[in-house]
Chains A and B, each alone.
Chain A
Amino acid sequence: MPEKTFRKNIDIRKNYSEKFGFNMPEEFLLKIEKGLNEETVKRISKAKNEPAWMLEFRLKAFGFFKEKSLPSWGPDLSKIDFDDIYYYLKPVDEAKKTWDEVPESIKNTFEKLGVPQAEKEFLAGVKAQYDSEVAYSSLTKELENEGIVFLSTDEGLRKYPEIFEEYFGKLVPFSDNKFAALNSAVWSGGSFVYIPKGAQVKRPLQAYFRINAEKMGQFERTLIIADEGSFTQYVEGCTAPVYSTDALHAAVVEVFVKKGARFRYTTIQNWSNDVYNLVTKKAKVEENAVMEWVDGNLGSKTTMKYPSCYLVGKGSRGEMLSIAYASENQHQDTGAKMIHLAPDTSSKIISKSISLKGGRSSYRGRVEVSSEAKNAKCRVECDALILDEDSASDTFPLMKINEGSAEIEHEATVSKINEEKLFYLTSRGLTEDEAMSLIVSGFIEPIVKELPMEYAIELNRLIELEMEGSVG
């Protein structure tokens, strides 16, 4: 009976190595040797010509990183060898303003990813992170005229040191967790975004991250400030070439959403299956502001990521929409945190996960309501689909409520593909593959429709393609 066979073939990342798994010859101006010690941290800071306070911050973070042990919960991280990783690569010396100035090999990588076309058609500004440094950046006139700043974090630090002193590391202190400390010590690249008061950014700002050097850890650091009354969508997508050794990606993202502003941060993570993706993302949401995280985790070997919203202003709102896709040898440990600290705050978490071919997806979430947060509302929905008997799913929510006026709801379901739906669709003439693909697409649809168009199309096409492929 083909049941087993067609299920095996549902892997939306099946052709990963042909599609994205290329590996361009490396070309670097500076590559600090493998391993991590104080000297590495100092050399990174020196290479970047940073202010003294940043070096001090890095060294303190490194001290904390050394002391702190790996988390005692969640996926197994014991295989990460911190001494077998490059912590800094500098492919080209400066961020290029025009496409012509970008080196040929890097250009080829972007051509394969379709960045320039996408930029022309859809994107307001492209920040592409090639290894540790921003290799190419451009901003359209429109954005510059409105006073919107969209730079690499390194450039941002050079140009706006006073903003960095005020905000950098304030939301995610290096003591937040071991990997935030690692990032704080060796960070490089990432985006710095400042949206001025009242600015309405119509098209999404987009950053494209890639890892291209084997055993290269990527530690980008993103700082975003959305000033009062502004509106922005920010999109980050990741693909990485396939390598046999484990790479590490430990990013930190800090988002400050000021009074009345609205900010949406969309990530599609499609790292290759050997990457550890351990990310800390936090947003501070002020009065009547809205923060939305949209998070798709398709790739990596192990992902640990729990974007959070600190709802500190009256009437603020946090949202999280998340898709996790765990296939062979993958563990997606993802979730969200909503911390209600002010009256009339509200939040919503919707999480959908798919496990197949022995993959494991875990939802880990936290909702807190402090005694100041009168009339807080929160709704959490977690749906998990397990496609075969070898795969697994967990749900670990925690709700801590210290205020009686709170209305908190949490719901989780775990199921397999509904045989009746499958039967219905096949009786209508669809093949089993098509039927499965349709059911899976329907399952994640509520989140896919929130993605920017080109991502939604790409995601849907990936799923369709891979499921069709098994008809034989």
Chain B
Amino acid sequence: MKTILLDIKKNQKISVAEDTQFVLADSRGFEEEFTLNLVFQKPGVASEVLGIFNLPAAEKIHLTTSSNHLVPGTSCHTYIKAVLNEKSDFDYRGEIFIGKKARQTTAYLHDHVLVAGDNIKRNSQPILQIETNDVQASHGSTTGRIDRNELYYLESRGLEKNKAEETIIQGFLIDLIKKIKDENVKRSVLDKLGLKNE
């Protein structure tokens, strides 16, 4: 499976012709809405979308991902993780469309937000449209604050509050970074997010 780090500047419509991992990562907001539209027209193609964001105070991301399965046997697993700091705004719409002929499609979508500041805004719109029965499809979306128990544990071990929070945020994001198969891409993502390689 090849890995592509996508440029978030302009909307992308991609017909997925071979097994591919698409990576989106940023530690800044987007100036404009960004849409990634994947179309599956070649049977048997597998793909993964990883969206990893650490959104600084008062910045905004408006993101749409869409996977359109039109032929049998394709798969797309979408994982989105975002950390929201003070007054940041994350608006995500994740679409999965499985057409009549797209038997044996597997499509999953996970959208998780970790809230690290106050006065945030978060919209989540995971959409499934499924026209046939021999498929596996699901989506999950969660939004939650940094777990007080985890924070307490780390602080009791001697970490300062800031450091403890940082550790939890890293742990939250690293999970997806580990899924990146290409080492060069992984390094650029760590750089972009200001995280250290373990």
Binding site for B on A (CB under 8 A): 371, 384, 386-416
Q: Pick the contact of B133 from A386, A407, A408 — CB < 8 Å?
A: A386
Q: What 7 A-B pairs have minimum CB-CB distances, sorted nearest first?
A: A386-B133, A413-B138, A395-B128, A416-B133, A410-B141, A401-B122, A404-B115
B95-143 residues with Cβ-Cβ distance < 8 A to A are: 100, 103, 115, 117-143
Q: Pick the contact of A401 from B127, B138, B143 — CB < 8 Å?
A: B143
Q: A404-B115, A404-B120 are in contact. Are A416 and B134 (CB under 8 A)?
A: yes
Give Cα A388 to B133, complex, Å. Answer: 6
Inter-subunit contact B144/A407 (CB<8 Å): yes
B123-168 residues with Cβ-Cβ distance < 8 A to A are: 123-145
Check if B84 is an interface residue, CB within 8 A of chain A: yes
Give Cα A391 to B134, complex, Å. Answer: 11
Inter-subunit contact A408/B142 (CB<8 Å): yes
Inter-subunit contact A392/B130 (CB<8 Å): yes
23 interchain pairs (CB within 8 A)? A387-B133, A388-B133, A389-B103, A389-B132, A389-B134, A396-B125, A397-B141, A398-B123, A399-B143, A400-B122, A403-B120, A404-B84, A404-B118, A406-B115, A406-B144, A407-B142, A407-B144, A408-B142, A409-B141, A411-B139, A412-B140, A414-B128, A416-B133
Contacts of B119 in A (CB 8 A): 371, 404
Inter-subunit contact B127/A396 (CB<8 Å): yes
Inter-subunit contact B128/A394 (CB<8 Å): yes
Q: Which residue of A lies closest to B84 (CB)?
A: A404
Give Cα A88 to B154, complex, Å. Answer: 69
Inter-subunit contact B123/A412 (CB<8 Å): no
Inter-subunit contact A404/B145 (CB<8 Å): yes
Q: A389-B103, A393-B128, A413-B138 are in contact. Are A407 and B123 (CB under 8 A)?
A: no
Q: A397-B125, A404-B120, A414-B128 are in contact. Are A391 and B133 (CB under 8 A)?
A: yes
Q: Pick the contact of B140 from A390, A406, A411 — CB < 8 Å?
A: A411
Inter-subunit contact A402/B124 (CB<8 Å): no
Q: A412-B138, A414-B128 are in contact. Are A402 and B121 (CB under 8 A)?
A: yes
Inter-subunit contact B131/A392 (CB<8 Å): yes
Q: Pick the contact of B145 from A405, A413, A415 — CB < 8 Å?
A: A405
Given contacts A401-B143, A412-B128, 6 further A-B contacts (CB under 8 A): A400-B123, A408-B143, A409-B141, A410-B124, A410-B140, A415-B135
Q: A386-B133, A404-B84 are in contact. Are A399 and B128 (CB under 8 A)?
A: no
Q: Which residue of B lies closest to A383 (CB)?
A: B138
Q: Which residue of A lies closest to B129 (CB)?
A: A394
Contacts of B122 in A (CB 8 A): 399-402
Q: How far is the CB of A466 from chain B (nearest CB, A)?
A: 19
Inter-subunit contact A401/B132 (CB<8 Å): no
Inter-subunit contact A395/B143 (CB<8 Å): no
Contacts of B141 in A (CB 8 A): 397, 399, 408-411
Give Cα A390 to B103, complex, Å. Answer: 11
Give Cα A136 to B84, complex, Å. Answer: 58
Q: How far is the CB of A156 from chain B (nearest CB, A)?
A: 40
Q: How far is the CB of B123 from chain A (nearest CB, A)?
A: 5
Contacts of A402 in B (CB 8 A): 120-122
Give Cα A371 to B119, complex, Å. Answer: 7
Q: Which residue of B lies closest to A409 (CB)?
A: B142
Give Cα A414 to B106, complex, Å. Answer: 11
Give Cα A49 to B94, complex, Å. Answer: 53
Inter-subunit contact B138/A414 (CB<8 Å): yes
Inter-subunit contact B120/A399 (CB<8 Å): no
Q: A401-B143, A413-B138 are in contact. Are A395 and B84 (CB under 8 A)?
A: no
Q: A399-B124, A400-B123, A415-B136 are in contact. Are A406 and B130 (CB under 8 A)?
A: no
Contacts of A415 in B (CB 8 A): 135-137
Q: How far is the CB of A372 from chain B (nearest CB, A)?
A: 12
Contacts of A384 in B (CB 8 A): 130
Q: A389-B132, A395-B126 are in contact. Are A407 and B121 (CB under 8 A)?
A: no
Inter-subunit contact B143/A406 (CB<8 Å): yes
Give Cα A388 to B100, complex, Å. Answer: 11
Inter-subunit contact B128/A404 (CB<8 Å): no
Give Cα A456 to B170, complex, Å. Answer: 49
Give Cα A398 to B92, complex, Å. Answer: 10
Q: How far is the CB of B80 from chain A (nearest CB, A)?
A: 13
Q: Which residue of B lies closest to A391 (CB)?
A: B133
Give Cα A409 to B136, complex, Å. Answer: 20
Give Cα A405 to B84, complex, Å. Answer: 12
Q: A395-B128, A409-B141 are in contact. Are A401 and B121 (CB under 8 A)?
A: yes
Give Cα A316 to B194, complex, Å. Answer: 42
Q: Which residue of B lies closest to A381 (CB)?
A: B140
Contacts of A412 in B (CB 8 A): 126, 128, 138-140
Q: Per-position contact with A for B8-46: 1 when CB-CB < 8 Å, else 0?
A: 000000000000000000000000000000000000000
Contacts of B120 in A (CB 8 A): 401-404
* Residue among B84, B103, B122, B145 with max Cβ neighbours from chain A (10 Å): B122
Q: How far is the CB of B61 from chain A (nearest CB, A)?
A: 14
Give Cα A93 to B130, complex, Å. Answer: 50
Give Cα A274 to B121, complex, Å. Answer: 43
Contacts of B117 in A (CB 8 A): 404
Give Cα A448 to B120, complex, Å. Answer: 39
Q: Which residue of B lies closest to A379 (CB)?
A: B142
Contacts of B145 in A (CB 8 A): 404-405, 407
Contacts of B103 in A (CB 8 A): 389
Q: Which residue of B lies closest to A368 (CB)?
A: B123
Contacts of B128 in A (CB 8 A): 393-395, 412, 414
